[in-house]
Homo-oligomer: A and B are copies of this chain.
Amino acid sequence: MLCWFCGEYSEGEWNHQGEDSLQKYRLDSISRREALHCLLDAVTFHPRREIIPVSDARGRVTAEPVVAQSSMPPHPAAAMDGIALRSQVTQGASPTHPLRLQEGRDFSYINTGDPLPEHADSVVMIEKVKLLDRGEVELVEPAHPWKHVRQPGEDVAPGEVVLSSGHQIRPVDQGALLAAGVKQLSVLRPPRVAILPTGSEMVPPGLPLELGQLREFNSTVLAGFLEECGAEPDRWGVVPDREEALREALLSAADRYDILVVNAGSSAGSKDFTPQVLGQVGKVLLHGVTTRPGRPVVLAKIGETPAIGLPGYPVSAYLAFDWFVRPLIRHWYRLGAETSPSLRARLVREVQGGTGAEDFIRMRVAHVEGQYTAFPLAKGSGVTMSVVRADAWLRLPVETKRLKAGEPVELEWVRTPTEIEQTLVLTGCDDPLLDRVGALIRRMFPGWSLFREYTGSEEGLDLLQRGGCHAVALPGDLRQELLPGMIRLRVAEREMGWITSAMVPTPIRGVEDLIRSGLRLINQPPGSPIRERLTQLLDERAEGRRPSGWERAEGSHWKAAASLAGGTAEVTVGPRSVAQAFELQWKPAWREPLDLVLSQSVAESAGGKVLTRILSSPELREMAAQLGGYDDSQAGELITSSLRMNPRESRWER
């Protein structure tokens, strides 16, 4: 048989199709592709049809072929501006024997699209007609029958199939249907899908959270996905962690909906009894696929109603939805597989996969000097923000454990190539003023944006060197020389200091205080200049001792301050502006310039000009003043290079 979905053909049945063979699969041993075949083969839908007017048909799917009711054009019509006539009368016309014709008797004037008069069978272009007096014209060549005439039905004739069955209707299709005299048509009713969130600790949006409770938001995301693919979602209330509650909910929903989506409880933990209950009220087709994240999915049927148990972690749930629920909706409509548009990029950091399963990895893509480059974003399937921020997905097959930096990869894009091309990627250190640079770019240059990725200085410069980012944010006490072709632009001079939570009675003023107090630090990650500076200070003034929390690192000053405010640590080092925003205590430690390093060619590109324009803007100065703790007197100036900007040529010159 042929898999309608992926186009794969096998003379026999799919080997996983037989009900018995399913029993052989152990948990987690089925590939995503096989699992999909298994699901689609097990499910037969009988969607109802409805008759709707053409004007309401956008996005709907035809239930049967739609046949033209009338001709387009409805009558022979002029395809040119000119004169309409009967071609027979023009036979013999030539430059030596010009033919005179009388308006009304021999011809009539006609505009493009006008119907041909009763006895005419040809149109002569106005450019080929010599106009004489008293309604007469002259022709110097014969007209051919049906020349410059659109025949009735040329575009579409009655009985012709305008749209086949299983066609998703676009605006242009509506146009063709109306042109063909079709007023209404038969389309498939959308599938009704129940979304059942589970978990006693889950609280729906809008209600206050108590300690230990979590916000239930997956069902909102899943409902949005379902609407996107033409289904009618219905979000149920949260089903508590009791087997009988889930059993009742499933049985009641299976009767009234076409597809059930359960989220979550599909893992193998103590409260994960979704697979068990699905097995009691129906039949589990399989539990677990060899893909990360999204692995612990359950595919089941209750009677004839498919029920998909999605994992609870957001990223896993979203991926498993794409793999199983989206194809199921297309199966309902008898549509084929969707295209995942892809983009070729070069890796600038190594990518590591796990063993025994394929991996889906969120990627950052940069477009630097005409090349797409990519590196992986932070892992962790609970990290909702990383899905929001991802540019693309990289699929690492089971057999691939590792891809080296420099290798070309095929990525499935999430943000479009155009969006990626208008995005500046900035690595290096964090500062609230850089957030403001990003906000100003969005405001002043619509379509453009700035993406931040916190790295140490060396790592940032390495990425810059490989074309993985457009610029690196560095504190100004950088010791190394810039590589050839690189320039350095001042953002501001910033005041750095000791930030302590409001609960700390005596503020910290130096490493000695830090060690003495025993307070828990939030450090910067390895490679960060702040961490290096602290190391040096501790070695010099505290005999190399390390404070409590030394290994707890957070690249974002904002997140570190939030943790102080939340009480899981008491001290960190950061800019005055951050302490001010969180109303934390701050004591000065040092002042340092904050610079951007970028290549001369990036600086001269459209994106580089966006950046330099923002750095020297009065808007950014105003924001620096509001934040506090910045000296912006050199903002936007070129610092350590011997290059200078030639304003006429818009180039950096020696």
| Interface residues in chain A, defined as those with a beta carbon under 8 Å from any beta carbon in chain B | 2, 4-5, 7-9, 11, 54-55, 58, 65, 70-76, 81, 111-115, 121, 144-146, 150-166, 170-176, 178-179, 181, 183, 201, 205-206, 209, 211-215, 217-218, 220-225, 227-228, 269-271, 312, 314, 318, 331, 334-339, 341, 382-385, 387-388, 416-419, 421-422, 435, 438-439, 442-443, 445-449, 520, 548-549, 551-552, 554, 556, 558-559, 562-563, 565-566, 568, 581-582, 605-606, 609-610, 647-648, 650
Contact = CB atoms under 8 A, between A and B. Distances in A.
Nearest to A390: B172
A72 B112 contact: no
Contact of A446 (B4, B74, B217, B562): B4
Nearest to A199: B113
B559 A163 contact: no
Contact of A422 (B153, B336, B416): B336
Contact of A221 (B172, B206, B337, B445): B172
Contacts of A339: 416-419
B336 A217 contact: no
Contacts of A222: 171
B155 A385 contact: yes
Given A71-B562, A269-B81, A224 B384 contact: no
A335 B446 contact: yes
6 contacts: A2-B606, A75-B211, A153-B563, A164-B438, A171-B224, A179-B215
A535 to B, nearest CB: 19
B220 A439 contact: no
B164 A72 contact: no
Contacts of A563: 151-153, 157
Contacts of A158: 562, 565
A197 to B, nearest CB: 12
Nearest to A214: B113
A412 B196 CA distance: 40
Looking at A160, A175, A221, the one whose CB has the most chain B CB atoms below 10 A away is: A175
- One complex includes copies of this chain to the number of 2
A228 to B, nearest CB: 7
A384 B150 CA distance: 13
Contact of A111 (B71, B157, B223, B269): B269
Contact of A606 (B8, B115, B178, B581): B8
A307 B416 CA distance: 29
Contacts of A154: 383, 559
B220 A174 contact: yes
Given A71-B566, A175-B314, A217-B178, A335 B447 contact: yes
Given A155-B385, A552-B146, A2 B166 contact: no
B72 A384 contact: yes
Given A212-B114, A336-B419, A388 B172 contact: yes
Contacts of A385: 155-156, 162, 176
Given A81-B269, A439-B161, A447-B336, A606 B205 contact: no
Contacts of A552: 145-146
A150 B380 CA distance: 10
Contact of A76 (B75, B417, B568): B568
A499 to B, nearest CB: 14
Contacts of A559: 151, 153-154, 157, 160
A391 to B, nearest CB: 13
Contacts of A175: 217-218, 220-221, 314, 384, 387
Contact of A55 (B146, B220, B648): B220
Given A224-B174, A552-B146, A446 B336 contact: yes
A172 B318 contact: yes
Contacts of A70: 209
A164 B9 contact: no
Nearest to A109: B270
A154 B178 CA distance: 55
A466 B87 CA distance: 41
A81 to B, nearest CB: 6
Contacts of A65: 439, 442
A7 B447 contact: yes
Contacts of A335: 446-447
Nearest to A423: B336
Contacts of A58: 224, 227
A54 B216 CA distance: 13
Given A4-B446, A335-B447, A382-B150, A178 B439 contact: no
A179 B217 contact: yes
A173 B385 CA distance: 8
A225 B158 CA distance: 27
Nearest to A216: B178
A227 B4 CA distance: 31
Contacts of A54: 205, 220
A418 B336 contact: yes
Contacts of A160: 558-559
B337 A7 contact: no
A54 to B, nearest CB: 7
A121 B387 CA distance: 28
B171 A212 contact: no
B172 A387 contact: yes
Kindly list the 8 A-B residue pairs having the minimum CB-CB distance in the complex, ordered from nearest: A336-B447, A171-B224, A334-B446, A157-B562, A178-B217, A339-B416, A175-B221, A9-B606
B443 A165 contact: yes
Contacts of A179: 215, 217, 314, 384
A205 B178 contact: yes
A554 B209 CA distance: 71
Nearest to A218: B175
A418 B220 contact: no
A613 to B, nearest CB: 8
A162 B558 CA distance: 13
Given A9-B606, A11-B650, A166-B446, 14 more contacts: A4-B445, A4-B447, A7-B606, A111-B271, A113-B201, A115-B211, A145-B551, A151-B554, A153-B559, A159-B558, A159-B582, A166-B442, A176-B385, A334-B446
